[in-house]
Amino acid sequence: MPGIDETRPFVALKIAVLTVSDSRDLASDKSGATLTERIAGAGHVLAARDIVPDEVEHIREVVKDWISNPAIDVVITTGGTGFTGRDVTPEALEPLFEKRMEGFSTVFHMISHAKIGTSTLQSRATAGVANSTYIFCLPGSPGACRDGWDEILANQLDLRYRPCNFVEILPRLDEHLKREKAKGAVV
């Protein structure tokens, strides 16, 4: 049965949040606020937060900077995953992925379908690993951010979650680089 194993230690990850939007600022960024509240509430550390316009180069530049920082374990983006001409987050970030996480999109759409039906088809939520850093791209609505965090990321970013989680393999993502990540997560 999946769940939290209280005999295991909690490991706080360092998580960066990027909002992709042409119209939001920190005061009006409800999706970014939803994620930062949940990150802190879970006991993780908000390593960085930024807002960029829906432009491939701006998105890619910030995320490349974050994934080159050994102190950032996870990047979560919100916004720019739809089908309009300005929605370019997958185009900006998928080329950076060394490994795609196909299952993330599948599970996100299963959860979303239960709540919004076939409207979930309007999202291109995606995820992958780049430079030993997890990258998750969520839609720009607070509801989608809640679903993505509460139903997927809260568990997978908790070392105590069984039968397995992303934290326990985080130190092995860069075996070829021998770079320290998520110190203390080795099981």
Q: Where are the beta strands (DSSP E) in 7-125?
A: 14-20, 45-52, 74-78, 99-100
- Could you identify the residue written with the tokens 């930062």? 36
Higher pLDDT, 45 or 1: 45
Task: Note the pTM of the prediction, 2 decimals.
Answer: 0.93
pLDDT at 187: 40
Stretch 121-138: mean pLDDT: 97
Q: Would strands 126-130 and 133-138 be described as parallel, antiparallel, or unpaired?
A: antiparallel
Mean pLDDT confidence for 130-159: 97
What mean pLDDT is reported for the chain? 94
Q: Please give the sequence-ordered ranges of beta strands (E in DSSP) within the chain, or none if there are none.
A: 3-4, 14-20, 45-52, 74-78, 99-100, 126-130, 133-138, 161-162
Quote the pLDDT of residue 183. Answer: 54
**Class of the 8-172 domain?**
alpha beta
User: What pLDDT does residue 1 have?
Assistant: 86
How does residue 186 score in pLDDT terms, banded at 50, 70 and 90?
very low
pLDDT on residue 178: 53
Give the model confidence (pLDDT) of 46-90 as tens digits.
999 999 999 999 999 999 999 999 999 999 999 999 999 999 999
Neighbour tally for 106: CB within 10 Å: 11
The C-alpha atoms of residue 145 and residue 137 are separated, in whole angstroms, by: 10
Mean pLDDT in residue range 148-158: 98
Backbone angles phi, psi at 90, to 5 degrees: -60, -40
Q: Which residues contact 146 (CB under 8 A, 6 or more apart)?
A: 34, 38
Structure tokens belonging to residue 183: 């110190």
Decide if 184 contacts 11 (C-beta within 8 A): yes
pLDDT band at 181 (very low <50, low <70, confident <90, very high): low
- Give tens-digit pLDDT for 81-129: 999 999 999 999 999 999 999 999 999 999 999 999 999 999 999 999 9
- Average pLDDT of span 16-40: 96
If pLDDT is split at 50, 70 and 90, which confidence band does 180 have?
low
